[in-house]
Amino acid sequence: MVLRRRDWGWLALMVAVVIWGGQIFNHVEALAQDAYGRIGQMADDRAEVETAILRFYVEDVDAGKLQLSQVDGMLNELDTYSDFLNEREQEDLRMTTEGAFGGLGIEINAVDHYPTVISPLEGTPAWDAGLLAGDQIIEIENESTYDVKLDIIVGKLRGVPGTAVNIKVRRPGSGEPIDFRITRAEIHVNSVQFHGLLWDPRAEGFLPLGAPDWLRNAQGIGYIRLSSFSRGATDEVRVALQDLMAKRARGIVLDLRMNPGGLLEEARGVADLFLPKGRLIVSTKGRAQRGEQRLYSERDPAIPPSMPVVVLVDEGSASASEIVAAAIQDNDRGLIVGRPTFGKGSVQTVYNSQFSGRFGLNFSQNALLKLTTAYYYSPSGRCIHKPRWRTGKRGAVVSKAASDTATVYRTSKGREVRGGGGVAVDVAVQPDVPPALFWQLNARQLFFNYAVDYAVRHPELDPQTFDVTDAMLADFRRFVADSVHAFTYEPRGKKELDDLAKATSEAGYGQEVARRVEELREALLAQKDAEFSRAEPYVRQRLRSAIAGRVWGRQSRTRADFTRDLALKEALTYLTDSGKYAQQIALSPVRPRPPQQEQTAENEGD
């Protein structure tokens, strides 16, 4: 793509507000007149530099790439959310916001050099064709997939709905490879990945036999796992709430952990399902915006106002997730449990050939600019944005609202909240960190591989009686030790000990030092068994989850994961105790504050 000189004038006219996903506000203000002069002077110099490079540089230079590098240079002076997207990135953006694409409907990952099916999505062409978790896709259209990058594999499997793709699959326990010809379809990835009562003995399918008492005592507590705010998320959450109400739920867990966000309209819609009509959900303000844009709840809530609600969040909860969490917190509609959120409180406007003409811009057909143009503010007036700049950023000027962590804001009932750096939780839960051995086993896909192998060897597993036994743990250890998997675990400190042995030998410290170093090595290696013992509860849980998912599907895998979820456990201590919940969400005692903190915080933008 070659940009004309006049195209650089667009920087003076980036003046609309929209959150991630592309909502365009109609009003535009002109920037200061001196900006035009500065841009004009630089444009002349830039054109001369470009001409000199193209004519005189020692090697040929691609003019298109040269001009795109100029765009990258400008964007490097901005935050990490402003970007100029190529066609593949535009498709990724469309999939994120729309939650749909043409493909087969499988989740894949690289396992033992081949793309491997982690899970087929129910009701998709892959599901209907009979693909199973553990199937290795060894060929696509007669071309080997050995060590081919996953993004290339995904590109080959996706395509126009109605077209077909030929794949060859190696299935554990099936001998010869299996050929499939599968017709692609429009795949809609649900934003709600799971909903149901946390413990429902009447439910069909898998219930963890070894579930702890705190989970078994959660009868009547509904759970919704919302993984994104793609188009349709509001409708999916509404249906989930209606189903839970029909099952007589007495409390709701809305799980927004690792939810990166999505569309503003969906964030507003989801919050609207929980808040009373007429409550402020979010407002936005930027330089080019005339006044605040304020969004309110417009409908009666989908659940009774008295029903207790807990929202689970963590450092992966961002953008639209933070809008919903902050709206529920500031309106005192529920408790926020977990860890502080990511802190993406900025607004992006998407400019392309369809919309750029409305703002005096002249983008080509394939161009798309995503530019940060505003911050959003919670109902209490706080900005929870945590500024993040590219490595090229120099001397960034950050608005007061986006960096202020000291000013105290108040929820509708007077509880203290603060801004600048994510949504702070009402109840903090520290992460449950497994030992290093567990992560090494997980990184090598050994839990998944064992689940596939175990399911082949035990085709008649019963979801009502299945659990991970001590015999199964021993079997897993033998599986890991098998030379086929070539898994070796080096305990922490072994590398440093090897370096010490080498250094003492080279220094000629003698046999006595060498003997002591070797004794230390033997003691360290003896810790391998102790390390597995420390990892055993995590190994047991991951095996339960992996096997349940392989045999009975993703919903069963989610139910298996409940059993060691510490944040969920903490949430249930409030949802199963109405007095404790009411006490936590009630008005906190007001502590004396300096006079300058008593004033209402200003919603600043720049």
**Is 264 a member of any domain?**
no
Tokens of 185: 């379809």
Confidence of residue 27 (pLDDT cuts 50, 70, 90): very low
Which 3 state secondary structure label does DSSP give 326? helix
Q: CB 599: neighbour CB atoms within 10 A?
A: 8
pLDDT higher at 519 or 40 = 519
- Annotated catalytic residue: which of 227, 283, 285, 344? 344
Average pLDDT, the chain: 81
The answer to whether residues 66 and 144 belong to one domain is no
**Quick one: 112 and 43 in the same domain?**
no
- C-alpha distance from residue 302 to each of 45, 222, 240, 605 (Å): 60, 14, 10, 34
pLDDT number for residue 90: 72
Q: Are 109 and 118 spatial neighbours (Cβ–Cβ below 8 Å)?
A: yes
> Looking at residue 121, which CATH number applies to its domain?
2.30.42.10
pLDDT of 459 over the 80 cut: yes
**pLDDT tens digit sequence for 218-262:** 999 999 999 999 999 999 999 999 999 999 999 999 999 989 898
Asked if residue 229 is part of any domain, the answer here is no
Least confident of 367-376, 377-386, 590-599: 590-599
In this structure, is residue 396 part of a structural domain?
no
Asked about 344 being catalytic, the answer comes back as yes
Whether the pLDDT of residue 4 is over 70: the answer is no
The model carries a pTM of: 0.77
Clarify whether residues 547 and 454 are in a common domain: yes
Range of the domain at 143: 100-188
59: Cα within 13 Å, side-chain hemisphere: 3
- Residue 57 counted as domain residue: yes
Is 206 contained in some domain?
no
Amino acid at 268: R
**Domain count for the chain:** 3
CB distance 455 to 547 below 8 Å: yes
Position of tokens 């936590």? 584
- Mean pLDDT, residues 87-109: 76
Whether residue 150 sits in one domain with residue 130: yes
Give the confidence band of 364 by pLDDT, cuts at 50, 70, 90. low
Contacts of residue 146, defined as CB under 8 A and 6 or more positions apart, other chains included, come to 113, 114, 138
Bigger pLDDT: 479 or 90? 479
222 by DSSP, 3-state: which?
A: strand
The closest alpha carbon to 373, from 103, 108, 15, belongs to 15
- Give 25's pLDDT tier (boundaries 50, 70, 90): very low
Measured distance CA(223)–CA(212) in Å, rounded = 17
User: Of 173, 188, 203, which residue constitutes the final position of a domain?
Assistant: 188
Q: Say if residue 482 is in the same domain as residue 525.
A: yes
128 pLDDT above the threshold of 90: no
Domain edge (last residue) among 71, 95, 119 = 95
| Domain membership flag for residue 343 | no
Summarised one tens digit per residue, pLDDT across range 545-604 is: 999 988 988 889 999 999 999 999 999 999 999 999 999 988 443 333 333 333 323 333
pLDDT of 3 strictly over 50:
no
Q: Which residue has the higher pLDDT, 4 or 254?
A: 254
Other beta carbons within 10 Å of 589: 6
Do 469 and 505 fall within a single domain?
A: yes
Has 330 been annotated as catalytic?
A: yes
Query: From the DSSP assignment, how many helices (H) and strands (E) are in the chain?
Result: 18, 21
Strands (DSSP E) contained in 189-257 are 192-197, 221-226, 251-255
Mean pLDDT (whole number) for 312-338: 95
d(CA 356, CA 362): 6
Domain membership of residue 138 (yes or no) is: yes
Pick the catalytic residue from 255, 330, 453, 565.
330
Of the candidates 326, 279, 333, the one whose C-alpha atom is nearest the C-alpha of residue 304 is 333
**Domain assignment of residue 214, yes or no:** no
**pLDDT exceeds 70 at position 24:** no
Structure tokens, 371:
């530019």
456 pLDDT higher than 50: yes
Please report, in angstroms and rounded to a whole number, the separation of the first and last CA atoms in the chain. Answer: 32
pLDDT at 45: 78
Residues 106 and 89 in one domain: no
Give the dihedral sign, CA 369/370/374/379.
positive
Domain final residue pick, 188, 210, 241: 188
409, 380 Cβ separation under 8 angstroms = yes
65 catalytically annotated? no
- Does 118 share its domain with 84? no
Residues 17 and 67 in one domain: yes
- Verify that 59 and 126 share a domain, yes or no: no
Best CA proximity match to 197, nearest among 242, 236, 247, 153:
247
Choose, from 119, 191, 227, 319, the residue flagged as catalytic: 319
57, 107: one domain: no
